[in-house]
């Protein structure tokens, strides 16, 4: 069986409320994976806000420098219009 990410996205979008979606994520992701996803989301938000250094983010939010560097590099390599869309999705 080959995993299809699009089918995962479609399933996530089909859930009518956050409680049911939370149940799905508990089924699909371990506690550690959910924590990692939440941490990565927070890192992207903080990097896009630009108020804290990578070291401050690491210290304040207990996220590894490696994760922060990966997120930072991903943002640096984005096309400007893609980065603007990400900012809108994560900061608004």
Summarize pLDDT for 50-89 with one digit per residue, the tens: 999 999 999 999 999 999 999 999 999 999 999 999 999 9
Residue with tokens 């699909």: 28
pTM of the complete model: 0.84
Helix axes 31-49, 54-61, angle to 10 degrees: 140
Distance CA 47, CA 55 (A): 11
Question: Chain-wide mean pLDDT for the chain?
Answer: 93
Model confidence at 6: pLDDT above 70: yes
């Amino acid at each position: 069986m080959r995993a299809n990410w699009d089918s995962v996205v479609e399933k996530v979008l089909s859930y009518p409320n956050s409680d049911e979606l939370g149940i799905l994520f508990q089924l699909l992701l371990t506690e550690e994976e959910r924590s990692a996803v939440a941490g990565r989301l927070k890192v992207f938000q903080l990097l896009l806000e630009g108020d804290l250094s990578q070291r401050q983010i690491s210290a304040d939010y207990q996220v590894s420098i490696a994760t922060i560097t990966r997120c930072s590099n991903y943002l640096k390599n984005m096309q400007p219009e893609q980065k603007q869309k990400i900012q809108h999705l994560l900061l608004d």
